[in-house]
Structure 1
Amino acid sequence: MSVRILGLVGSLRSGSHNRQLAEAAVKHAPEGVDVALYDGLADVPFYNEDIDVEGLVPEAARRLREAAAAADAFLLFSPEYNGTIPAVLKNAIDWLSRPYGAGALVGKPVAVVGTALGQYGGVWAQDETRKAVGIAGGTVLEDVKLSIPNSAGRFAEVHPADDAEVGDLLVGVLDKVAAAAAPSAV
């Protein structure tokens, strides 16, 4: 049985380097690891407890929760927006944190990676994302990190999926996430 990793990308831009990095993760997934990218984050309304009640949960939020519930682990791709986590990714974490104590993230391994324009590759945003995921109940894999700096220069001529070094780094990340998820995937 394959380990199912759900990828959430914190950028909605069509040419996003983080989206491309996520596509590279799909391409380089080792045998026994299935990486699926969730494409509906733009449709999920901002979290509001008033609509998070039976019969009122928006369809887009329900679909996100279903996809997350079916996953064994998560790989979050976070760009850095003004030094912190993008709203779309934070919103997904908020929806997946509920119901409190029993959300789809609870007890599942989560790794956060990404790329950004700056010289540190978005580490501030990734740290904030890890913090939010941990509070939401996910099992943050603190030792699984990948921050690729200078995304505009690094990926100007080559897609991350075709960058051999990036491919190798992603395989290492996916191996660690899969190992952390393996007991729950049985």
Structure 2
Amino acid sequence: MDTADALTADALTADLTFRDATAADIDALVALIESAYRGDSSRAGWTTEADLLEGQRTDPEGVREVIETPGGTLLTVEREGRIVACCQLERRDGHAYFGMFAVRPGLQGAGLGKAVLAEAERRARTDWGVTEMHMTVITAREDLIAWYERRGYRRTGRTSPFPYGDERFGIPRRADLAFELLVKELS
């Protein structure tokens, strides 16, 4: 990153507030997550899954479960009092799990996602003392996997099946969906 990019990234993240989500945030978080991954609104950003999945990405019960899970948080990111991003961060068996990551579509591609990921990694390392971050990504999302690889995550080749038939996770538009585990050593 050159000096101009660093200044832009600093300006972008200077006015962000990071906090743990509460039950009062559930509706806004569901709307954010849905807008980042499903339907036409998701096409304004680059993280859309609209060509892979229809239906919902999450629901209020799923978000509530993440908020209430012991040993975890739904990190909420605000700018000027408005939720602009979020991510799940959970302590699991000696590592941290990163998931439910969403950035408002119109703000994608400007460094906000990098800032959120960096804060999640910092919290996992300093608050929990873990040395590894795990996440799962749909294998067909090569562009997203490449984004994580540029941030130090490595593909493991370990896959798990997509939950076909469980519409809480969406309605697949193709029959070859699976998740791959990505891992990063936190130093």
Could you tell me the TM-score, scaled by structure 1's length? 0.35
Q: RCO (CA 8 Å, sep 6+): is it higher in 1 or 2?
A: 1
Higher strand share: 2
